[in-house]
Amino acid sequence: MAAVGIGLVWRFSPRVFDWRLAAAALAGLDWRWVGVSLVPVAGSYYVRALRWAVFLKPLKPRPSIRNLLSATVIGFTAITLFGRAGEFVRPYLIAVKEKVPFPSQLAAWLLERIFDLLMALLLFAFAMMRITSTGVHVGPRIAWVLAAGGRFVAASCLGLVVLLFAMRHFAEPVRRYLTHAIRFWPERYFARAEKLLVACVQGVESIRSDGALLAIFLYSVLEWMLIAACYWCLARSFAAVLHFSFVDVLIFVGFISFGAAVQIPGIGGGLQVVAVVVLTELFRVRLEPATSFAILIWILSFVVIVPVGLMLTLKEGLDWRSLRRMGRNEQ
């Protein structure tokens, strides 16, 4: 946590950083609201497990929510500990626990990422409309986001919708075409490739159902509303320096979800970094409490789940080395 704070200071402070003011912001926290914020955080993991159960329906009509929730918590713990390699731990664990092909769960993971990105883009579009309509003066970094954001959102949403449409309607024809194209391969390699293609198609089978597609979309909306609720609770805990309505929180989430995904000139990406920029340049919060708030967001978003994930890992007979090996082997 200290390293994150120091990094933010070096990047953004045009003056001497007042550590006493930052400490005062943390000392003045209403810890009751911090505790309440853990409820939507926990709920977001449960909703992710419910959404993944929809992805699994074509392969397993009644998947174990307990298994999915455990794999989700362990998977996000692995991401926090090991970075990008940890992304593959969750689909691997789900494949093992539910006895389904691993490639099918990689396909489900891709679907999850598509829906999360779509939700983030919709929130950012909402944030842009609110800021533009109010005519609020923004800093140069946020102005760049507004200038580039409209084109980015339109192109990205269109691309994601086209991709979902293609996966919904053309996955099976593509599988048949590729299977026919590689039929000249030696039998051993052809059998493996055919099995892989079938598993990938099975992984996206859920979105061919209108009911399942609607359920996935609604779970995605609920997940992001829980994330926004968590941030609102954190804002309430900083009531002495932050005066956020729930709409302000949605604007904040929209901007940081966009900024963390792209590289803003002179800034870069990263949730903590973008959170500080948005708070200081858009909401006119002083750097010190903005930094404290960004650090707390980072803790709630990534760190708080780690002890739970490690306990579940030990309970299931796994260890850090096995989790790291899962990620590396499946890259």
Residue 1 maps to a domain: no
Neighbours of 42 (CB within 10 A): 17
**With contact defined as beta carbons under 8 Å apart, do 109 and 91 qualify?**
yes
Identify any residues that bridge with 268 across adjacent strands, giving them in sequence order. Answer: 264
Residue 13 has a pLDDT of 54
Q: In Å, how far are 19, 259, 307, 328 from 85, measured between CA atoms? A: 35, 22, 19, 6
Alpha-carbon gap, residue 7 to 2, rounded angstroms: 9
C-alpha dihedral (152, 129, 217, 229), degrees to nearest 10? 120
Q: Is residue 14 part of a domain?
A: no
Compute how many other C-beta atoms are within 10 angstroms of the C-beta atom of residue 287: 20
Alpha-carbon distance of 111 to 134, in angstroms, equals 35
Please report the pLDDT score of residue 330 as a whole number.
57
What pLDDT is stored for residue 230 in this prediction? 94
Structural domains in the chain (count): 1
Residue 19 within any structural domain of the chain: no
Structure tokens at 200: 């990938």
pLDDT, tens digit, for every residue of 312-326? 988 888 766 666 666
In a domain, 240, yes or no: yes
Tell me, what's the pLDDT at 94? 95
- Residues in the chain, overall count: 331
The model carries a pTM of: 0.83
Q: Looking at residue 227, what is its pLDDT?
A: 93
Pair of tokens at residue 121: 């883009």
pLDDT score at 272:
76
CB 304 within 8 A of CB 41: yes
Classify residue 232: in a domain, yes or no: yes
Residue 235 lies inside a defined structural domain of this protein: yes
Q: What is the pLDDT of residues 38-81, one digit of tens each?
A: 999 999 999 999 999 999 998 898 999 999 999 999 999 998 88
H/E run at residue 116: helix 102-134
Burial classification of residue 63, based on how many CB atoms lie within 10 Å of its CB (0-12 exposed, 13-18 middle, 19 or more buried): buried
Note down the domain range covering 289. 32-329
Answer whether residue 26 is part of any domain: no
In a domain, 86, yes or no: yes
Q: Is 193 exposed, middle or buried (0-12, 13-18, 19+ CB in 10 A)?
A: middle
Query: Residue 184 and residue 194: Cα distance in Å, rounded?
Result: 12
Q: For 113, left (φ over 0), alpha (ψ -120 to 50), or beta?
A: alpha
**Residue 264 β-bridge partners:** 268
- What are the residue ranges in the chain where pLDDT is below 70? 1-16, 132-150, 259-270, 319-331
Exposed / middle / buried, residue 134 (Cβ in 10 Å: 0-12, 13-18, 19+)? exposed
Dihedral sign of CA atoms 232, 299, 40, 271 in order: positive
